[in-house]
Structure 1
Amino acid sequence: MHRRIHRFIQGAVPLALVGAVLAAPQPASAAITDLVGWATQNGGTTGGGSAATTTVTSASALTTAVGSTSAAVIRVSGTISCSGMLRVRSNKTIIGNAGAAIVGCGLNINGDRNVIIRNLTFRNWNDDAINVQESATNIWVDHNSFSNGYDGAVDIKRGSDFITVSWNRVFSHDKSMLLGHSDSNASQDVGHLRVTYHHNWFDASTQRHPRVRFGNPVHVYNNYYYNNSGYGVASTEGAGVLVEANSFENVDDPFHLGEGSSDAGTLVARNNLLVNSGSGQTGGSVASIPYSYTADAAANVKSIVTANAGAGRISV
């Protein structure tokens, strides 16, 4: 049983444990609409950019729009009911108008690149809500809400890389965010699966926030964990995870090494707020973070994230 504590902020760990993980900070916290993290690397992530905008209101129109090989900005309007997984091709911005929802299906980015998915409500999906695989790169998943799905809310696997998952809310759901699908996939995954998870609200969701294999460094910062009955973060199979300035409330198992049959990875934790939560498990070192960022103080994360995470919190 993990030791229960009322309120504790972790102090800094020796830099020898972190490697060169401290990046040059920005002079002020980024706005909630700004792209930060791994998706800024490798040429950046612009989605459809200034390409023509199309608005879709049906499953058939959405399928056609996201499957086009041309760059596009796709606005989702109303509730679209569908099933299975819809293939998303490169150079797309998929953004929800106010109240937009995708119900029953998910989006599959399979080997493509430069995709932005924002301001959408996903619920009742019958596979994954968002699946990123087969060396897909430069993906930004931002300000979405996820609930009541079958499998992962945001699963990233099979050599995918340079991804930011930010300002999302997961609730009424079990398996939140998987990073690396199999212990046997090292040949494709080692040197990839570099993802930043920041300012997400894991709202009584159960597990995988994220569950990490192989990726190093994976950066998990400024997320709010509330009443997660399974665990917060798991580092496995040689992964290196920096867990920084998060707020954990009523989480017996905030972070640990290994999970199920997966061997342990490494995990460095610093400056996290643990309220009525376990102390977590750490070990080993983590590769350096290459991008600039400013972490909010863990004591402020709950109020910042609950006010701004999820669909409907940005102007579109």
Structure 2
Amino acid sequence: MRLHRAGLRRRHLALSAVLLGVLCVPAQAQARDIGRDTLPAGDGWAAYGTGTTGGAAADDAHVHTVTDRAGLVRALDGGSDTPKIIKIAGTIDANTDDDGDHLDCDDYATGGYTLKKYLAAYDPRTWGAAKPSGPQEEARQASAARQAERVVLRIGSNTTIVGLGSGAVLKGAGLQVEDADNVIIRNLDIRDAYDCFPVWQPNSGGLGDWKTAYDNIWLRGATHVWIDHVTLSDKGHPDEREPTHFARNYLRHDGLLDITNGSDLVTVSWSRFADHDKAMLIGNGDSATGDRGRLRVTLHHNEFESIVQRAPRVRFGQVHVYNNRYVVPEGSDYRYSLGVSTESAIHAENNAFTTPGHVEAADLVKSWNGSALHQSGTLFNGFPVDLLALNNAYNSGSERDLTADVGWTPTLHGRIDSAAVADREVARGAGAGRIP
């Protein structure tokens, strides 16, 4: 890795600029400390039981303002359970060395790995359909481990991470909340969890596909998590600009927010998901029967704009999806929004969809071995529609019809507005930098 002493000076200058900006904010604007905010009572599944308070109980020694990756890593304290509040000021790039200098993919590559050699080694025309193995795959794995060491940031229990002001950005990082409880992430633009070393999977989807390693946020075995007023995207390196290798798009990003491995009691509110393929996976496998009774998630007042699919796709979980805004732009490679999969129980209320002419209301729902979907108050291009009836009417026969009985009725939620009102409110208020 490159080490440049000039980076130290840049870090000091950046810190001075950020602190000067904070100090120059009027006293009235500084009065509220959102780092001490807790999830309001009744606000979705994360309010169940003990509720979600994050690091609100942190003492002054565990309240940190950070401006670079090194400071963020120190504040995270190895994912410890100590109550802590971490305030991100300005832009933090996870792909940096210890001096704060940017690292690109070539800096991580080791063992003789190059993309050119990798493509030559595992070209399906010569390699066949076997899983990649041998020197280039070993070199890819070693290179990937070097990047993961920098960009995977683990969040422990009793932690609040918030962005300061309207311009807090975390780029290139994969935030992981694994086997942790009581976490809050708010007011932060989290973008471009870029994988330098995707792996070729010859048998994926029948035609093979590229598999990437990082989600912007990944909850694994996490409980009581509140994600609020965040913006999640691929901004900087959109996958649509990546080349095609082995007749498949060379993907660099995985999910924006994945909730898997028995995670439970999660509320995602007033957030923006933008310009991405697979936005949100809740439940990662049809055979993960240990997820039964878990994966309880509330999604409300979120905006999904230019999202191809998984907004969300659900297995097993009881998921309340209400007052969200979906926008499909002209020319989008759109597939679906609500994915109904094995034993899922989605209760969708008063959501608004705006799409171009080539997208029909029947496209909004897709089922894989699903059995039920509750929907009401749906607005499609300004007109009320019944997504359940449309799904069943246009079912090709490859999947069974869905019933309206999902086996539960949400009780933990705030006021549910009409889809038209929510559409306007979410357009004005969702995303980082918009906490009222």
TM-score normalised according to structure 1 size: 0.83
Counterpart Cα distance in 2 of 1:169 and 1:265:
29
Task: Give the CA deviation at 1:301.
Answer: 1.6
Task: Give CA-to-partner distance per residue, 1:46-66, whole Å, 9 cap, x none.
Answer: 000131321011112212222
Are 2:174 and 1:164 equivalent residues in the alignment? no
Task: Name the CA distance, whole Å, in 2 between partners of 1:172 and 1:222.
Answer: 20
Please report how far the alpha carbon of residue 129 of structure 1 lies from its aligned counterpart in structure 2 after TM superposition.
Answer: 0.6
**1:1-316 to 2 correspondences below 5 Å:** 34=40, 36-51=43-58, 52=60, 53-66=63-76, 67-83=79-95, 84-98=151-165, 99-126=167-194, 127-134=214-221, 136-148=222-234, 150-186=253-289, 188-215=290-317, 217-227=318-328, 229-250=334-355, 252=360, 253=362, 255-259=364-368, 263-275=369-381, 280=387, 281=391, 282-286=402-406, 287-314=408-435
**Letter aligned with residue 111 of structure 1:** D
Is the 8 Å Cα contact of residues 257 and 266 (structure 1) preserved in structure 2? no
C-alpha distance after superposition, 1:5-29 (max 9, x if no partner): xxxxxxxxxxxxxxxxxxxxxxxxx
Code of the aligned partner of 2:81: T
Greater strand fraction, Structure 1 or Structure 2: 1
| Shift of residue 255, structure 1, vs aligned partner | 4.0
- Structure 1 residues 183 and 59: alpha-carbon distance in aligned structure 2, compared to 1, 3 A threshold: same
Q: 1:204 to 1:75 in 2, by over 3 A?
A: same
| Higher radius of gyration, 1 or 2 | 2
Displacement of 1:106: 1.7
CA contact (8 A) 2:40 2:47 kept: no
| 8 Å Cα contact 1:42-1:162 kept in structure 2 | no
Could you tell me the percent identity over the aligned residues? 40
- Give the distance between the partners of 1:247 and 1:140, measured in 2 at CA: 23
Offset of residue 256 of structure 1: 2.6
Deviation for aligned residue 1:95? 0.2
Q: Per-residue deviation at 1:257?
A: 4.8
Alpha-carbon distance in structure 2 between the residues aligned to 1:271 and 1:223: 12
Structure 1, unaligned runs of 5 or more: 1-32
The CA deviation at 1:279 is: 5.3
Q: CA RMSD in A?
A: 1.9
Label 1:243 to 1:292 Cα distance change in 2 as closer, same or farther (>3 A). Answer: closer
Tell me which amino acid in the other structure corresponds to 1:211. Answer: R
| Shift, 1:293, TM fit | 2.7
Amino acid at match of 1:272: T
Q: Is the 8 A contact 1:81 1:103 kept in 2?
A: yes
Q: Structure 1, residues 26-79: CA drift from partner, whole Å, max 9, x if none?
A: xxxxxxx85610010021000001313210111122122222331011100111
Which structure 2 segments of 5+ residues have no match? 1-38, 96-150, 195-213, 236-252, 392-401
Would you say the 8 A contact 2:376–2:386 is kept in 1?
no
- Residue 146 of structure 1 and its aligned partner are, at CA, apart by 1.2
Q: How many residues in Structure 1 have an aligned counterpart in Structure 2?
A: 277
- Letter of the 1:133 counterpart: R
Q: Does 1 or 2 have the higher relative contact order (CA < 8 Å, sep 6+)?
A: 1
